[in-house]
Amino acid sequence: AQTVTQSQPEMSVQEAETVTLSCTYDTSESDYYLFWYKQPPSRQMILVIRQEAYKQQNATENRFSVNFQKAAKSFSLKISDSQLGDAAMYFCAYRSAENRGGSEKLVFGKGTKLTVNP
């Protein structure tokens, strides 16, 4: 079974600074997807960024980028120019691409609570 580990329960960053959230995963599969989701306090979970394992290029979405190291099974999220609105729980998630029957099952890490200080 796949597992996802987020080793930083909490992180803090100054507004306008850069922060990196860590995520490692364990799998024997070669084809999969990785995601970072953001869950603001009392608000809906939204997708921040996604990475397809067979693509070597790291995904970027505006101020958000990932460092995907497939051999090391590492998938960190970098947030540049942090804003107050970035304060949230961030979850790293894994989805297999090898289930031929299809399945949307996401395996989540425990999350990292990010605080942005003004």
Partner 1 sequence: KAGVTQTPRYLIKTRGQQVTLSCSPISGHRSVSWYQQTPGQGLQFLFEYFSETQRNKGNFPGRFSGRQFSNSRSEMNVSTLELGDSALYLCASSLGHPGETQYFGPGTRLLVL
Q: Which residues bind partner 1 (CB under 8 A)?
A: 33, 37, 43-47, 50, 52, 91, 95, 97, 99, 101-111
Residue 7: what residue type? S
Q: Which is nearer to partner 1, 41 or 118 (CB)?
A: 41
Least gap, CB of 98 to partner 1 (angstroms): 9
Query: Which token pair is 57?
Result: 């290029």
Q: Which is nearer to partner 1, 17 or 98 (CB)?
A: 98
Q: Which is nearer to partner 1, 71 or 104 (CB)?
A: 104
Least gap, CB of 16 to partner 1 (angstroms): 29
Least gap, CB of 87 to partner 1 (angstroms): 18
